[in-house]
Amino acid sequence: MQCEWLGERVAAPSLKHVVSNVLNKKTAGNWGPNATFRFPARDGTGGIWKAVAKTLPQDRFKFGQSVQRIDATNKVAHLSDGSSIAYRSMISTMPLDQITEMTEEAANLRPISRGLVYSSTHVIGVGIRGVLPPRIGDKCWLYFPEDDCPFYRATVFSNYSPYNCPQEDVKLRTLQTADPALSSQVDTQTERAGPYWSLMLEVSQSTQKPVDEEKLLADSIQGLVNTGLCSPDDEIVSTYHRKFHHGYPTPSLVRDGQLKQLLPELRDKYSIWSRGRFGSYKYEVANQDHSFMVRPPSLSLLDAARRRGRRRRFGAIRPPLLTFSTALTPPFSRYRSALRRSTMCFLAASSFRLWVSDVLPVLRRGIRRTSRRERSSEPDTDSRTRPYPSSTPTGVP
């Protein structure tokens, strides 16, 4: 791995303050971009994007199908249900290494894209009966570099919002105790009331870090006991396990060189703008706020092309985000015509005011720099050109 990605992602505490805070049992103040963050009270992280989706024309969405093949010569995307969509410019959030596999014309790029490094992530949820132990307190997430548990991070989601786990009067059956040997000592037959608290665990997997997937849930629960997050007799009322094949893009030593070849060629030859977590393949700009923010440069370029007189419809897959993002991107004067065209943009902005109030000042600074870059070259997805928001939507890096 290279280390440039650390810049804005990892807090750089002063050793003196760390030692002094530990000795004085003090919590550090504003230690980095994640020191404070906002989280939806209800509906979890997805609530943010469901709220955004409601503000967009519903006929633009097509769910339950995937792009299987791209005919880049004729600019047609073929879907899994046999249908196809013609496009003029495509903004894609598919993993970059997959888009080259499904685009025959881009076969020459495959040797490069196959070298992109990523890790898979197992997300494991555990619901627990009882009151959150005081030893965990108000922590939001904790890291576990030791080898006594398979997870590297545990997130206490019930601390984010009381609505992230069932309310106290909801009756649930105990599945097992944290130490399964003690399960026979508790009632696992009857549904009983709470209170409840919850944990989300993350386990990374790659060729260099194999995982026993069959045993992972059991190993993780054992890890909760080993690390003191749970007591052996804690009653577990629900579990969840899902593997994300593309979990985290790895900032390898050769990554920047790979991206410099892949992204411009896809854009210039085939009008495919690969963006987002695995579209841009940059760990340091792969959170939700970043993934949202790396879109405006390409969108505003497309919009500028349209305004220059080459007015075009972007085919059936013209993204709704095109209108949405340009409306949110100051200075508004640049986009006056876009704003006039669509009152929907104002609805989007007002219904999402909370988040926008955080992001807007950052976008304002970012777009000034972006505008300069657009005039000269390829829109950049480098984190260092975009200031990190003072508070990210959901915090966890």
Ligand X SMILES: Cc1cc2nc3c(=O)[nH]c(=O)nc-3n(C[C@H](O)[C@H](O)[C@H](O)COP(=O)(O)OP(=O)(O)OC[C@H]3O[C@@H](n4cnc5c(N)ncnc54)[C@H](O)[C@@H]3O)c2cc1C
Binding interface with ligand X (CB under 6 A): 66-67, 93-94, 121, 123, 202, 244, 247, 276-277, 286-289, 291, 392-396
CA distance 348 to 54: 8
CA distance 35 to 58: 36
CA distance 375 to 301: 9
34 or 222: whose CB is closer to ligand X? 34
> What's the min distance (Å) between Cβ of 333 and ligand X?
29
Q: How far is CA 53 from the centre of its chain?
A: 16
CA distance 60 to 300: 19
168 or 213: whose CB is closer to ligand X? 213
Q: How far is CA 178 from the centre of its chain?
A: 30
Kind of pairing between the strands at 118-129 and 235-249: antiparallel
> What's the min distance (Å) between Cβ of 90 and ligand X?
11
166 or 276: whose CB is closer to ligand X? 276
197 or 278: whose CB is closer to ligand X? 278
What residue number has its CB nearest to ligand X? 276
Work out the burial of residue 242: count CB atoms within 10 Å of its CB; fewer than 13 is exposed, 13-18 middle, 19 or more buried: exposed
Among the listed residues 113, 383, 384, the one whose alpha carbon sits nearest the alpha carbon of residue 258: 113
> What's the min distance (Å) between Cβ of 347 and ligand X?
22
> What's the min distance (Å) between Cβ of 286 and ligand X?
5
> What's the min distance (Å) between Cβ of 180 and ligand X?
26
C-alpha to C-alpha distances, 222 to 106, 182, 215, nearest whole angstrom = 46, 13, 11
> What's the min distance (Å) between Cβ of 10 and ligand X?
15
> What's the min distance (Å) between Cβ of 152 and ligand X?
11
> What's the min distance (Å) between Cβ of 212 and ligand X?
19
128 or 154: whose CB is closer to ligand X? 154
119 or 329: whose CB is closer to ligand X? 119
CA distance 110 to 93: 18
- Sequence-distant (6+) residues with CB within 8 A of 125 are 157, 198, 199, 200, 201, 238, 239, 240, 241
User: What angle in degrees, to the nearest 10, is found between the helix axes of 295-307 and 321-328?
Assistant: 100
Interior/surface letters 149-162, b for 16+ CB within 10 angstroms, e for the rest = bbbbbbbbbbbbee
> What's the min distance (Å) between Cβ of 381 and ligand X?
11
9 or 129: whose CB is closer to ligand X? 9
177 or 224: whose CB is closer to ligand X? 224
Cβ contact 210:247 at 8 Å: no
